Structure 1
């Protein structure tokens, strides 16, 4: 089983112009771009056309949780303008986080309300994790359990690298949320603490994560695509090419040997 291979454009935000990267990414074998705000903000329809002209598409895109909560119809309009399918809020700012189950259930409730609107328009809402969702709360529960525990309509883009950074096991999380996972980010890390060059991130296959062991579990999920991401690469081309090649060798991406 193989998947469309997407590239999170946040990875190369420090190497503008982003538009010039699109044909190169397509040539590397990427099928899709996963953009983040503000890459598409000025002209969502135009950005979508630019991606399609390069021979790729947009399956999911990162967008603000506050935007989804305040004006879900507008963000569904943006999704449709880009011909995207999945709206992906990825973050709660550190200054807003509270170590209380009710706070994280509130995040899940905001996502659920947005998902209800999106579902009526044939779209999907998925949460994207970082490490903070895996830090135990005083009662021993974890934020991720409360975020995803409110509604099955809220799906999950699982970021394996951040799970490792959060002290959890990607294998366990792939099993736990198999039927909720719509996208898998194969983000790799040099270690569990985030230290070292490039903020401790690595191209897929160059870090400590045992991807070969995770592949069978990935294929048991409801994922529709896989995503390459690196938060701070020194060389975006090297990261993108290496990650695409490794995903193909794992048998995940289209064109796998």
Structure 2
């Protein structure tokens, strides 16, 4: 059971803090090895990839291991998940991951409830394939899942009809942009949440570095308590991605990690 807001986190809890590499995607596209080395030098403990890397996957696995970085998950392109889930699973495993994740659907794939139900069926099928291969499957929501489609919120459909073994990545900013309190949403779905994207929200609704906005991260940490989850710093729109990571890591580590 999740802890109430008035309880404190046990002193012995000391979780690793990671980064979603989408934050530094331009550098990852230019030179992934150099980028991973820079991430490790900043002091992050683990990484989450925002895409697969084909025949470079094994080399990236070796690099993360050499740097002492764990791999929290790999976000799989929706087209690859649709067309070749076995390849997606194989590439993610080659990258040292134990979890693959669907993190985006384009507007044309989510206009109707029938499309959402089709994707839920597909995700349930892929999760079964992944499980047979020793891999987990998870879903990352943005804000569009909280907007009604034909009178029903896709987020409610997802939570009701996805295989309960499918994990959920709670993005603090996008859940808040969707009109929900991230702490309350976590409490309602604590058994499903396996990963967090930590990004703050400024008073005007824009993205902000961790600790520089309005979201109550301390309350979130108390709510999660000693459940095993991944804490991952991310900022999609950082003007200076490396400065954003350098700013966010100390605040995230104080609240969620070391």
Indicate whether the TM-score tops 0.5: yes
Residue of structure 1 in register with 2:231 after alignment: 226
How far residue 184 of structure 1 moved from its aligned partner, in angstroms, is 0.9
Q: What do the CA deviations read for 1:179-207 (whole angstroms, capped 9, x no partner)?
A: 111111111122464xxxxxx32111112
Return 5+ residue gaps in structure 2 as ranges: 1-12
- Structure 2 counterpart of 1:160, from 172, 187, 192: 172
Q: Distance in 1 between matches of 2:189 and 2:252?
A: 21
Q: Distance in 2 between matches of 1:96 and 1:142?
A: 15
C-alpha distance 217-192 of structure 1, shift in aligned 2 (>3 A)? farther
- Structure 1 counterpart of 2:49, from 35, 38, 60: 35
C-alpha distance 121-203 of structure 1, shift in aligned 2 (>3 A)? same
Q: What do the CA deviations read for 1:15-43 (whole angstroms, capped 9, x no partner)?
A: 443422222321222111111125x2341
Residue of structure 2 in register with 1:7 after alignment: 19
Matched, 1:239 2:244: yes
Residue of structure 2 in register with 1:81 after alignment: 94
- Structure 1 counterpart of 2:209, from 200, 203, 206: 203
Q: Distance in 2 between matches of 1:192 and 1:155?
A: 31
Question: What is the 5 A alignment of 1:141-180?
Answer: 141-150=152-161, 151-180=163-192
- Structure 2 counterpart of 1:110, from 116, 122, 126: 122
Aligned residue pairs total 243
Q: Distance in 2 between matches of 1:49 and 1:93?
A: 32
- Structure 2 counterpart of 1:21, from 35, 41, 63: 35
- Structure 2 counterpart of 1:58, from 71, 76, 84: 71
Q: Distance in 2 between matches of 1:46 and 1:14?
A: 19
How far residue 119 of structure 1 moved from its aligned partner, in angstroms, is 0.8
Q: Distance in 1 between matches of 2:32 and 2:213?
A: 26
C-alpha contact (below 8 Å) 1:185/1:226 kept by paired residues = yes
Residue of structure 2 in register with 1:197 after alignment: none
Deviating more after overlay: 155-164 vs 50-59 = 50-59
C-alpha distance 83-66 of structure 1, shift in aligned 2 (>3 A)? same
RMSD value, Cα:
1.9
Return 5+ residue gaps in structure 1 as ranges: 194-199
- Structure 1 counterpart of 2:218, from 190, 207, 212: 212
